[in-house]
Chains A and B, each alone.
Chain A
Amino acid sequence: MSPSALILARYYLRATFRSKFAILFTAIQPILFLVLFGPLFDRSGVGSWGALVPGLLIQLALMSAGLAGFGIVLDQRFGVLERLRVTPASRTSLLLGRVLKDSVVLLVQAVLVITLGYAFGLRAPAGGVLLGLALIVMLAVGLASFSYAVALTIDQELFPPLMSTALVPLMLLSGALLPMSLAPAWLDVLSRLTPFRYVVEALRSLFTGSYTSAEVGWGVLVSVLFLLVGVLLGTRLFQRENA
Chain B
Amino acid sequence: MIHAIGLTKTFETRKGAVEAVRGVRIEVAEGEIVAFLGPNGAGKTTTMRLLTTLLKPTSGTATIAGHDLFADPTGVRRRIGYVAQGATVSPMGYVGEDLEVQARLYGLRPAEARARVREVLAQLDLTGVEQRVAGSLSGGQRRRVDIAMGLLHRPALLFLDEPTTGLDPQSRANLWGHIRRLRDDEGVTVFFSTHYLDEADALCDRVLIIDHGRIVTEGTPAQLKAGIGPDATLDDVFLTVTGRELREEAVA
A80 contacts which of B56, B70, B76, B89 (Cβ < 8 Å)? B89
A236 within 8 A of B: no
Supply 5 further A-B pairs (C-beta < 8 A) apart from A82-B88, A88-B105. Answer: A79-B88, A86-B80, A87-B105, A242-B53, A242-B73
B191 to chain A, nearest CB (A): 14
What are 19 inter-chain pairs, A to B, with CB distance below 8 A? A3-B104, A7-B101, A14-B97, A75-B90, A79-B89, A80-B88, A82-B54, A82-B84, A83-B82, A85-B53, A86-B52, A87-B105, A88-B78, A242-B53, A242-B54, A242-B55, A242-B56, A243-B54, A243-B70
Find chain A residues with CB under 8 A from B55 CB: 241-243
Let me know if A84 and B86 touch, CB within 8 A.
no
A4 within 8 A of B: yes
Quick one: which of B143-164 are within 8 Å of A by CB?
Answer: 149
B77 within 8 A of A: yes
Give chain A's interface secondary structure class.
Answer: helix
B87 within 8 A of A: yes
Let me know if A88 and B56 touch, CB within 8 A.
no
By beta carbon, the residue of chain A nearest B90 is: A78
Let me know if A79 and B73 touch, CB within 8 A.
no
Hey, what's the 0/1 contact readout for B66-98 against A, CB within 8 Å counting as 1? 000110011011101010101111111100010
Let me know if B88 and A243 touch, CB within 8 A.
no
Let me know if A88 and B54 touch, CB within 8 A.
no
A4 to B113: give the CA distance in the assembly, Å. Answer: 14
B102 within 8 A of A: yes
* A residues adjacent to B (C-beta < 8 A): 3-4, 7-8, 11, 14-15, 74-75, 78-80, 82-90, 241-243
B26 to chain A, nearest CB (A): 15
* B residues adjacent to A (C-beta < 8 A): 50, 52-57, 69-70, 73-74, 76-78, 80, 82, 84, 86-93, 97, 101-102, 104-107, 149
For the complex of A and B, 5 pairs with smallest distance between CB atoms:
A83-B88, A87-B105, A79-B88, A79-B87, A88-B77
Between B52, B86, B88, B93, the greatest number of chain A beta carbons within 10 A of the residue's beta carbon is seen for B88
By beta carbon, the residue of chain A nearest B71 is: A243
A41 to B149: give the CA distance in the assembly, Å. Answer: 54
Find chain B residues with CB under 8 A from A90 CB: 74
Let me know if B89 and A86 touch, CB within 8 A.
no
A215 to B168: give the CA distance in the assembly, Å. Answer: 66
A12 to chain B, nearest CB (A): 10
Between A11, A84, A241, the greatest number of chain B beta carbons within 10 A of the residue's beta carbon is seen for A11
Find chain B residues with CB under 8 A from A242 CB: 53-56, 73
A8 contacts which of B90, B97, B101 (Cβ < 8 Å)? B101
